[in-house]
Chains A and B, each alone.
Chain A
Amino acid sequence: ILNVEQSPQSLHVQEGDSTNFTCSFPSSNFYALHWYRWETAKSPEALFVMTLNGDEKKKGRISATLNTKEGYSYLYIKGSQPEDSATYLCAFLSGNTGKLIFGQGTTLQVKP
């Protein structure tokens, strides 16, 4: 059974704070790691697809890093805004199975 773990489960921060969450995944047979943002009453939206050890991707104030040897990825949000409030999901692709295994998500609440 492949386990993808995310921490923390939830996070409350003030507007302007920077924050980060962790995604842990099996380090063997790694193919790709995805990050998604899921806002309430909307569809989950792809943020990043990462494949290479040491990869760093950035989209605006959000960035992600990847360590495939030790099996973790960090998602960083710089200067959090209320509109960043959402559940952030990571998902692991093992081998060429064609399907993603998701973690339970980190729910972020940014207070104005």
Chain B
Amino acid sequence: GAGVSQSPSNKVTEKGKDVELRCDPISGHTALYWYRQSLGQGLEFLIYFQGNSAPDKSGLPSDRFSAERTGGSVSTLTIQRTQQEDSAVYLCASSSSRDLRSYGYTFGSGTRLTVV
């Protein structure tokens, strides 16, 4: 596609429910990233996929969070048993290269998650 597409754009869920957030990166981009921004905080790294390599999951805040990337393209971030502190804007980004010395990220427009 022309850009990074995220869905849904907004999601309100009840505490304890599971949610799935979707990211469709730019075609051909090998690297895909998930970040989140909680109220008053900076962008927090969650997980990074690069090609067929094992993902870097070092930023996932708890085992309630998981992500997968199917066929090197679309990624799904799953949050199980949501808590109020999970409320945030979840941003996906992709990059054409592992070389972040030359290229920046292309971001999606985000999913605003509200847990009530």
Contacts and interface: CB of A to CB of B under 8 A. Distances in A.
B108 A43 contact: yes
Given A43-B4, A99-B48, A31 B43 contact: no
A6 B1 CA distance: 33
Interface residues on A, range: 20 to 34
B31 interface: yes
B35 to A, nearest CB: 7
Contact of B45 (A43, A101, A103): A101
B50 A98 contact: yes
A36 B45 CA distance: 16
Contacts of B17: none
Contact of B104 (A36, A96, A105): A36
A26 B3 CA distance: 32
A81 interface: no
Interface of B: 3-4, 31, 33, 35, 41-45, 48, 50, 56, 91, 98, 100-110
